[in-house]
Amino acid sequence: MKQGLQILGDFKNCRADKVYFFDDKVLKKEAEKIIKKSGFEIVDFCSHKFGGGGGISLVFLVSESHVAIHTWPENSSLNLDIFFCNYSKKNEMKARRAFEMFRDLYKPRKVMRKNIKRHY
């Protein structure tokens, strides 16, 4: 049985530029950089921008699973879901590195993180 690492993160009271909470094109570009620097190929992408000053949701399908981002501009927070399975190689360090790069981008004052070992 193989396993992979899924990291769920809640970033609270972020000090990042507000553009990263509202502009799906800007966030897509930065997230693509992070995913590629982590060593993954993006195979598909979708996003949704919520009206009335709401945030954005972006989902990237990557070569070995997914990255999902949901922003909450009204309280400068973000929910992050990173899952890189170990189908063809060990990817746990890449998942951790991607999480850290998102944390560096958003500069949260508080981070709630949960690491889940997924079996398949």
Catalytically active residues are 65, 70, 85
**CB burial string 71-101: b at 16+ within 10 A, e below:** bbbeebbbbbbbbbbbeeeebbebbbbbbeb
